[in-house]
Amino acid sequence: MRIDRKKLLITMLDQDKNVLQLAEKSGVSRVTISNVKCGKSCSADTVKKIANALNAPVESLVEQ
């Protein structure tokens, strides 16, 4: 799965979260968050963890 980079960045900015804060809250490594932020794909489980940490629905982050 791929997370839409723009949607992720906007959501992170809206919540004033950086990569390290998102990694800590989601339980996903900082490197994985950075990779996703750069457009790399990730597992559905990772998408769910990131979405939960941002209090956002998975559908709002996934590329269409």
Q: What tokens does 12 get?
A: 């992170």
Torsion angles phi and psi, residue 62, rounded to 5: -75, 140
Neighbours of 32 (CB within 10 A): 18
Angle, alpha carbons 30-36-37 (nearest 5°): 85
Q: Distance (Å, rounded) from C-alpha 2 to C-alpha 21?
A: 21
Question: Tens of pLDDT along 24-39?
Answer: 999 999 999 999 999 9
Mean pLDDT (the chain, rounded): 95
As a whole number, mean pLDDT of residues 43-62 equals 96
Q: Which domains are present in the chain?
A: 5-56 (1.10.260.40)
pTM of the model: 0.93
40-51 in b/e burial notation, b at 16+ Cβ within 10 A? eebeeebbebbb
pLDDT at res. 64: 80
